[in-house]
Chain A
Amino acid sequence: MSRAGPARLLPMGARAVLVELDGLDEVLELAGALQAARPPGVVDLVPAARTVLVQIDLDRLTLAQARAWIEGVAAGPRSGVGGSGGAAAPARSHLIDVRYDGPDLAALAAALGMTSGELVERHTAAPWRVAFTGFAPGFGYLVSPAWPFDVPRLRAPRTAVPAGSLGLAAEFSGVYPRQTPGGWQLIGTAATRVFDPLAAEPALLAPGDLVRFRAAGA
Chain B
Amino acid sequence: MIGPAILVEAPGLLATVQDRGRPGRAAQGIAPSGALDRGALALANRLLGNTRDAAALEITMGGFSAVLLPSGGPARGGGQPGVAPREADEPREPRGLWIALTGARGDAEIDGRGFGPNQAVLWPFGTRLRIGMAVAGSRFCLGVRGGVDAPIVAGSRSSDVLAGLGRPPLAPGDALAIAAEVAGPIPAAEPVPWGVTRALLEVALAPGPRADWFAPSASAALFGEPWLVSNDANRVGMRLLGPALQRVREGELPSEGMVVGAVQVPPSGLPTVLLADGPVTGGYPVIAVVAAASLDLLAQARPGERLVFRRALP
- Spell out A's residues near B (CB within 8 Å): 10-16, 18, 20, 43-53, 55, 132-139, 178, 197-198, 201-203, 205-207
Contact with A along B54-90 (1 / 0, CB 8 A): 0000000000000000000000000000000000000
- A136 close to B29 (CB less than 8 A): yes
Whether B27 contacts A44 by the Cβ 8 Å rule is: yes
The 7 closest A-B pairs by CB, nearest first: A53-B257, A13-B289, A10-B209, A46-B257, A203-B28, A49-B254, A133-B29
B206 CB within 8 Å of chain A: yes
Task: Give the docked Cα–Cα distance between A93 and B235 (Å).
Answer: 35
* From A12, A48, A178, A206, contact of B255 by CB (8 A): A48
Is there a chain A Cβ closer than 8 Å to B40's Cβ?
Answer: no
CB pair A12 B23 closer than 8 Å = no
- In the bound complex, residues from chain A placing their C-beta under 8 Å from that of B28 are 133, 137-138, 202-203, 205-206
Say yes or no: B254 contacts A50, CB within 8 Å: yes
Residues of B in contact with A (beta carbons under 8 Å apart): 23-31, 151, 153-154, 160, 163-165, 206-210, 254-259, 261-262, 279-281, 286, 289-292, 312
A53–B26 touching, CB < 8 Å: yes
Q: Which residues of B contact A43 (CB under 8 A)?
A: 23-24
Q: Given that A45-B27, A50-B254 are contacting pairs, would A14 and B292 also be in contact in the complex, using a CB cutoff of 8 Å?
A: yes
Q: Which residues of B contact A138 (CB under 8 A)?
A: 28-30
Closest A residue to B166 by beta carbon equals A197
For the residues of B in contact with A, the DSSP-based class is loop
CB contact between B163 and one of A13, A16, A136 (< 8 Å): that residue:
A136
Q: Taking A47-B27, A197-B153, A203-B28 as contacts, is the C-beta distance between A11 and B207 under 8 angstroms? A: yes
Across the interface, which residues of B come within 8 angstroms of A178, CB to CB? 164
Contact status B24-A197, CB under 8 Å: no
A44 and B289 in contact (CB under 8 A), knowing A50-B256, A51-B256?
no
Tell me the bound Cα distance from A137 to B160 in angstroms: 11
> Who on chain B is nearest to A52 by CB?
B257
Q: Kindly list chain B residues whose C-beta atoms are within 8 Å of the C-beta of A135.
A: 29, 281
Task: For A44, give its contact among B24, B207, B255, B286 (CB under 8 Å).
Answer: B24
Option from A13, A46, A197 in Cβ contact (under 8 Å) with B208: A13
Docked Cα-Cα span, A47 to B281, in Å, equals 9
A sample of 17 inter-chain contacts (CB < 8 A) reads A10-B210, A13-B259, A14-B206, A18-B257, A44-B24, A46-B257, A47-B27, A48-B256, A48-B257, A49-B256, A50-B256, A133-B27, A133-B29, A134-B29, A134-B279, A137-B29, A206-B27
Determine the distance from Cα of A202 to Cα of B210 in the docked complex, in whole angstroms.
Answer: 32
Q: How far is A136 from B28 in the complex, measured between Cα atoms in Å? A: 9
Q: Select one of A45, A47, A203 contacting B30, CB under 8 A.
A: A203
Q: Which residues of chain A come closer than 8 Å to B30, judged between CB atoms?
A: 137-138, 202-203
Residue of B nearest to A43 (CB): B24
On whether A134 and B255 interact (CB within 8 A), knowing A48-B281, A203-B28, the answer reads yes
CB distance from A66 to the nearest CB of B (A): 14
Q: Give the Cβ gap from A206 to chain B, nearest Cβ, in Å.
A: 6
A170→B285 CA distance, assembly (Å):
22
Nearest A residue (CB) for B23: A43
Is A12 in contact with B29, judged by CB distance below 8 angstroms? no
Q: B210 to chain A: which residues have CB within 8 Å?
A: 10
Docked complex Cα distance between A198 and B167 (Å) = 12
Q: A15-B259, A55-B24 are in contact. List 5 more A-B contacts (CB 8 A).
A: A10-B210, A20-B209, A178-B164, A198-B153, A202-B154
Chain A residues near B259 (CB-CB < 8 A)? 12-13, 15-16, 53, 55
Minimal beta-carbon separation of A15 from chain B (angstroms): 6
In this complex, which of A12, A44, A135, A205 has the most chain B Cβ atoms within 10 angstroms of its Cβ? A12
Q: Which residues of A contact B24 (CB under 8 A)?
A: 43-44, 55
Minimum CB–CB distance for A101 against chain B, Å: 26
Instruction: Give the nearest-CB partner of B290 in chain A.
Output: A13
